[in-house]
Amino acid sequence: MRLRALTDDDLDAITALATDGDSVRWTTIPHPYPPDGSRERLAATREQWRTRSGPLCWAIETDDHPFAGMIDVRPAPARWELGYALHPAARGQRLMPDAIRLASGWSFGQGAQTVSAYVVRGNWASRRVLWSCGFTVHPALPGWLPGRDGPPQDCWPATLAAGAPMTPTHRWMIAPRLEADGVALRPWRDDDVPREEPDHPAHFMAAPVPTAATFADWLLDRREAVAAGRAVHWCVADARTDEALGEVGLFTRAPSELGDEVELGYQLFPNARGRGVMGTAARLAVDHAVSDLGFRRLTASCASDNAASAAVLRRLGFREWGREAGVHDLPGGGTADELHWELPRAATGSR
Ligand SMILES: CC(C)(COP(=O)(O)OP(=O)(O)OC[C@H]1O[C@@H](n2cnc3c(N)ncnc32)[C@H](O)[C@@H]1OP(=O)(O)O)[C@@H](O)C(=O)NCCC(=O)NCCS
């Protein structure tokens, strides 16, 4: 992998990169792309390097790809900003992390204290590349980046400090496929949109229950927690039909990555209740938490009038350790308590 100056030989490849659908979706490269766009870019780049002002852009070159893509840094007093894109033929080959490490290392050598990147919220390939280089991805800034044809877009700001190791600083909690007794746990898909059904009492769920209208945002929030190392989220699916039946997750309420304590949470869509699905799904999740992820302290909570949830927890070996009185106002009047549960260490040791 080398970073080198752009040349006239790169013009066609720059145009292919600039007009590709992902570049249009996720970058601010002009669209429609002007006929002389690449030649103008080359001229501007040469001038920017000569005067050391504006974006300082390199071509990315490997043995297999004479032009794999472009990366630039924009020097600024407080932080230097990265921009990057791969040629479509060079994607999916893990080329960008090394290019980012080279450009960031060069920037630190020139005096940058922080290198930053601003990623359109939802550009997962870009977020993961930054994560793999040790960047901290901060909570989304609403409406921070210009939209193409619509409203401004939310953005993930990411930063890397001078001297920080350029390797991940926390886990990205991938949800593996697990299966037992006709129930599968698998990652959520964009098309798992729940049907509209009458739901259970609102106070049974601490987390929002997704609807067709809220599902996309609900899923984005969950994927952000997964990427930040704060949760593992599975879709509970019918192992035969793959239909989404609900969710089970392991999470922390702290704003940091999962420590040694993890909370179990779950819900089934109404049509999937009453046939033992969650007993199996939660057991798969707890076994994975203990045996594969090494968690030793598992907790859970549920409303005191949620008998089905309490039964699931009891069957898994959880024991009730506390009760907060009058937490939930019931629709018909009166209140319900919140029950707190833990899986005793003896139970985790025997799994
Ligand atoms: C962003 C870009 C540089 C990433 O490079 P790439 O080689 O295409 O990246 P990949 O498709 O291999 O994805 C990178 C990683 O993200 C993961 N990923 C991709 N899509 C994902 C998704 N929807 N959810 C979770 N992870 C995802 C990949 O599995 C891969 O992980 P791995 O490295 O552990 O295998 C490239 O896609 C690109 O040029 N896109 C268009 C321009 C752009 O978006 N520039 C960045 C603007 S901020």
SS3 116: strand
The alpha carbon of 135 and the centre of ligand 1 are apart by a number of angstroms equal to 15
The Cα–Cα gap between 172 and 167 comes to 12
Ligand 1 pocket, mutate which of 124, 127, 224 (most atoms under 8 A from CB)? 124
Cβ of 5 closer than 6 Å to ligand 1, yes or no, is: no
- What pLDDT score does 255 carry? 74
Tens of pLDDT, residues 163-183: 999 999 999 999 999 999 999
- Rounded to 5 degrees, φ, ψ at 84 are -160, 155
Same fold, 2-161 and 178-348: yes
Ligand 1 pocket, mutate which of 28, 95, 129, 132 (most atoms under 8 A from CB)? 129
Residue 246 has pLDDT above 80, yes or no: yes
Tokens 């990265």 correspond to 82
- What pLDDT score does 53 carry? 87
Q: Name the pairing type of β-strands 80-86 and 114-120.
A: parallel
Cβ of 129 closer than 6 Å to ligand 1, yes or no, is: yes
Who's near 273: CB < 8 A, 6+ residues apart? 200, 308
Q: Is the CA virtual torsion 253, 257, 261, 266 positive or negative?
A: positive
**Residues for the chain: how many in total?**
351
Average pLDDT value for the chain = 92
Q: Which of 13-22, 152-161, 210-219 has the lowest mean pLDDT?
A: 210-219
Q: Which atom of ligand 1 is nearest to the CA of 117?
A: 48
Of the pLDDT bands very low, low, confident and very high (cuts 50, 70, 90), residue 274 is confident
- Helical ranges in the chain per DSSP H: 11-19, 21-26, 37-51, 96-109, 124-132, 215-227, 277-287, 307-316, 345-349
Contact 82, 72 (CB under 8 A): yes
- What pLDDT score does 206 carry? 65
- What pLDDT score does 232 carry? 96
Of the pLDDT bands very low, low, confident and very high (cuts 50, 70, 90), residue 348 is low
pLDDT above 90 covers a percentage of the chain that reads 79
Tens of pLDDT, residues 47-85: 999 999 889 999 999 999 999 999 999 999 889 999 999
- What pLDDT score does 324 carry? 95
Q: Which atom of ligand 1 is nearest to the CA of 92?
A: 12
Domain 2-161 fold? Aminopeptidase (3.40.630)
In the chain, DSSP finds a helix count (H) and a strand count (E) of 9, 16
Q: Which of 43-47, 157-161, 207-211, 269-273 has the lowest mean pLDDT?
A: 207-211
Q: What is the mean pLDDT of residues 215-234?
A: 94
Residue 351 has pLDDT above 80, yes or no: no
Strands in 183-186's sheet, in edge-to-edge order, are 178-180, 183-186, 231-238, 244-251, 261-268, 297-303, 335-343, 319-329
Of the pLDDT bands very low, low, confident and very high (cuts 50, 70, 90), residue 223 is very high
Q: Which of 323, 170, 198, 190 is nearest to 269 (CA)?
A: 198
Superfamily of domain 178-348, CATH level 4 = Gcn5-related N-acetyltransferase (GNAT) (3.40.630.30)
The alpha carbon of 126 and the centre of ligand 1 are apart by a number of angstroms equal to 5
Cβ of 189 closer than 6 Å to ligand 1, yes or no, is: no
Q: What pTM value is reported for the model?
A: 0.91
Contact 208, 235 (CB under 8 A): no
Q: Where are the domains of the chain?
A: 2-161, 178-348
Tens of pLDDT, residues 183-215: 999 999 999 987 776 666 666 666 677 888 889
The Cα–Cα gap between 182 and 129 comes to 36
Q: Name the CA dihedral angle for 37, 41, 47, 53, rounded to a multiple of 10 degrees.
A: 120
Distances (CA, A) of 307 to 202, 263, 273, 296, 311: 15, 19, 13, 26, 6
Distance from first CA to last CA of the chain, Å, rounded?
Answer: 46
Residue 23 has pLDDT above 70, yes or no: yes
